[in-house]
Amino acid sequence: MPAVLDCQMLLNQLREITGIQDPSCLHNALKAANGDLTEAVTILTEEQVKEPVQDAVAAEPSNGEGSAAGKGLRTDVIDLAPDNKDDLQAVIALSLMESPKVQTVERDANGSVNMAHETNAAENKNRSKRKRCEVWGENPNQNNWRRVDDWPVGLKNIGNTCWFSAVIQSLFQLPEFRRLVLGYTLPQSVLENCRSRNEKRNIAFMQELQCLFALMLGTHRRFVDPTAALELLREAFRTAEEQQQDVSEFTHKLLDWLEDAFQLAVNVNSPGDKSENPMVQLFYGTFLTEGIHEGKTFSKIEAFGQYPLQVNGYRDLTECLEGAMVEGEIDEKATTQSVKYGQERWFTKLPPVLTFELSRFEFNQSLGQPEKIHTKLEFPQIIYMDRYLYSSKEAIQKKREEIRLLKEQIAVLQEKLERYMQYGSGPTRFPLPDMLQYVLEFVTAKLPADGPSTQESPVAPSEPQAEPRVLDGPLLQNSALKMEDAEKPEDAASAPADTPPQPEPVSKPVHSSASLTKVPERPAPHVATEEEMSLVRTCLQRWRSEIEQDIQDLKDSIARISQSIEKMYCDPLLRQVPYRLHAVLVHEGQANAGHYWAYIYDQPRKSWLKYNDISVTESSWEELERDSFGGLKNASAYCLMYIKDKMPRYVADDDAGAGQFQKEVEDLPPELKHYIQEDNWRLEQEVEEWEGEQSCKIPQIEPSSASESQDFFSESGPDQPSACEPDLHSLSSQHAMMAKEQTAQAIANTADAYEKNGVEVALCKAFREEYSRLYLLAKETPTPQSDPRLQHVLVYFLQNNAPKQVVERTLLEQFADKNLSYDERSISIMKVAQAKLKEIGPDDVDMEEYKKWHEDYSLFRKVSVYLLTGLELYQNRKYQEALTYLVYAYQSNTTLLRKGPNRGADESLIALYRRKCLLKLNDVAAALFISSDEAHVADGVSILNELIIPCMHLIINNDISQDDLDAIEIMRNRWCSYLGQEDMDATLQMKLGELLPRLLDCSAEVIVLKEPPKIRPNSPYDLCSRFAAVMESIHEASTVTVK
């Protein structure tokens, strides 16, 4: 049975990746690929490219054709012959089928291709929700099937269901919601009297949700399958008029069903009373709307669940709420002849779980389709709702009036400031202090006595040293990436100022007439007495000082008033109703396609966790900010879930540790406990079957050091490469993936070039500018708190003089990364870069050398992570854990430094803290040994045998420094001093006699120190910030040199 399920799972994934619906076609491809998903995708996409005549593909409109909404799409067959230059965009559209993570064509049930970019409503509703980094398959290694302790489990994505995972995980992590679902029961009489189809469906959904929640509590699996509950929920959207619009509809539907299901139980005792419904009590509140409409005042109370907020035009959540609470203007003093429209909303009852639905989509009338709003919106971890409550109405209205008056004052001051900063009567205006300074410079300038001017002219900023002409090499001649051929003159004019200059022909100055030599090099007064000059100079200086003081006074006043506005609601009386952020649901992509995941705060662990389908990883507030605030890329929060901070039963207990889930499992009804036991038994059966199948296969070659290094640096979270991807360029691909945010920014900077000159020029421009940026970064002087090599692989390569071909290919691979599927521009550039990579042959780049360079950088990152981890542990006095990391950091670093001084980290720093840590740990072991407590003695001997002695062996058997030799002698003398002590127990003397030979003679045996647990850094930025924090910390402390 598991084999059949795995096969079906692969077929489902293959169908979603390729868009092909024909089961026989999918089955044949999977069979030909021997079950390899990646190979099957390759087979299918190659067949599609080889037979373009059979499947007409809609081309993206070119720059001159306008949008698809404005003109008809081309439906003619594309000729893929090499001489066809005009269909570049169409070829790119076709080539997008090669990537399993970007779908630009859709197929009907017979496998024929539909137009991917038609903008009719039916197709917009059915667009794929798959994202570039979504997990496609499960790791075949059975060790990754098992849950680790009580770590939260993931939910399997069964095809465009990432939205369900994000919503359900956010609700499941609410203890009160979990308790309600798992405790849901209905009397038998109610079950027997259910006649409505909807009631039966709701009850069935609750039962499936109970089973799902029970597994999420007690399963031994790393992730569970939510298919049964999902299929029921999908039933509501099967009809033509109820197709999916966005995840909000599903969330509303889910909560509606839960409310209806609980209402059946409530009706037993209180028919029709929704106030007793637990779902209503948990998620629903009420607000009062008061206002003036057409001269008449009105007032009404309404209920709300998910409270909608507009994002456009607001900076943060408090501004969004303020905008939603107050619409228009209410002038209570107005007469009936001049009534202004307006209304105010006030919350009269807030639910324990307060959900804000951020509206990030708007309909573009010109394109006839929805668009996503990517603007930045900040939100706090704690929000105080007092200022929006009806009970605070009187105080808040006074404060709003104060704020209105203060803002009017700011507007007046700002207008005055503008008169200084935009001075003049013509179309072009300048800051008045600058104008006075220019006149003062003119007054103080002097004419030369005779002949050519001897005055110093302003010194032009010195240009940075010219970089090597990387793009002129043979590697990119094959790729046709040379700017001379691809870029037009207008792009050259827009090159950034800090780009390392390219060699330019120098033209000689031309003098049209001898009279020009009499003109001074810069303007200066011709006739003026010293008294006149002195008077003018004094006046100008005084006026400039006065004006600068006026400007500063205006700025200070504006800042002071702004600060008063910011502190307006800091009154302790308005901080009595705090809500703490529980979950952030994130969407990445565009309005009609994307991926969903959730960040949820884990109260017992005091940390944020990222729930991304089957993956649940530890995160941070900084990562949440980057992904959720918006403004940087296509990811942003669309839903915020806050919980009332002063109601303990809605919040996980701080003391709820490893046994919390187990206790809840024990409290489950017998049928749910049995359901968990059955599923765990099935897992054991599946593992046994898998192990049996593996034992029958040909033994695999042991992983090399490179693959181990790759495993070390596999990013935790959604961006890790699929387990079925080939290993040939896994490290280089991974290094490209680490730099994806930097690459995305480089692509974003080429928007003008892309629109004006096409994808080839845009890629070339992005390539050159990114190289220039990294080249300058590599030339920066490093500081004790920063190491530019951690920011990017190319900085490491450039600092170590890597071959030009290695540098070029690495940068090109960065732009060819499949994770750059943000929008049409990035996809087009990615595809062109991929095509150019294919053009690079074995004669252009030595792939063995290329691989070794990437292995070296991977090892360098490993050394850095080990070093930082060791230093952090040492500062926290965890000497046992720290020593292993520091020893391994030193050993691996030595390997790198043999190849060059810039290949590794600071050897003296690692050696110093390895030595200090060893001495500290030796003190701990000695104190335990002489304590006479049996357990403590055993711990001391264990530390000596497992850590101290192996470490001493490693140090002595390498090139040992005098400092290390002195430290080892100190440790040996400490243990030798215990010999013959009269007050030492005979048993201890015997143990000491066994230990001393190993301490004194490090050549007697070979001892291996166990490698420490692997640490997976999240991103180059996280590693750099961590490096800066640790280095700043250790440099602030006084360095102790061990002699």
Active site amino acids: 162, 595
One-letter-per-residue 3-state SS of 836-885: HHHHCCCCCCCHHHHHHHHHHHHHHHHHHHHHHHHHHHHHCCCHHHHHHH
What is the number of other CB atoms lying within 10 angstroms of the CB of residue 1022? 14
Contact indicator for 789, 805 with CB cutoff of 8 Å: no
Question: Quick one: which of 838, 910, 843, 925 has its CA closest to 880?
Answer: 925
Q: Indicate the Cα dihedral angle 942, 947, 949, 953, nearest 10°.
A: 160
Report strand pairing: 578-590 vs 635-644.
antiparallel
Contact indicator for 756, 490 with CB cutoff of 8 Å: yes
CA end-to-end span of the chain = 67
Q: Tell me the β-bridge partners of 786.
A: 783
Residues near 587 by Cβ (< 8 Å), separated by ≥ 6? 247, 360, 372, 594, 595, 596, 635, 636, 637, 638
Question: Quick one: which of 112, 79, 82 has its CA closest to 94?
Answer: 79
| The dihedral sign for the CA sequence 498, 500, 502, 504 | positive
CA dist 880 and 894 (Å) reads 22
CA dist 912 and 967 (Å) reads 11
Angle between the 879-897 and 907-929 helix axes, to the nearest 10 degrees?
150
CA dist 1017 and 716 (Å) reads 8
CA dist 688 and 683 (Å) reads 9
Contact indicator for 247, 596 with CB cutoff of 8 Å: yes
Residues near 514 by Cβ (< 8 Å), separated by ≥ 6? none
CA dist 676 and 215 (Å) reads 6
CA dist 235 and 220 (Å) reads 30
**Residue 1 buriedness (CB in 10 A; 0-12 / 13-18 / 19+):** exposed
**Residue 375 buriedness (CB in 10 A; 0-12 / 13-18 / 19+):** middle
| The dihedral sign for the CA sequence 706, 708, 713, 715 | positive
Token digits of residue 1010: 């166990």
Q: Tell me the β-bridge partners of 587.
A: 596, 636
Phi–psi pair at 830, nearest 5 degrees: -60, -45
Residues near 471 by Cβ (< 8 Å), separated by ≥ 6? 481, 482, 483, 764, 767, 768, 771, 808
CA dist 747 and 741 (Å) reads 10
Where residue 142 falls (left for φ over 0; alpha for ψ -120 to 50; beta otherwise) is alpha
What is the number of other CB atoms lying within 10 angstroms of the CB of residue 290? 16
Our CA angle for 765, 767, 768, nearest 5°, is: 70
CA dist 536 and 530 (Å) reads 10
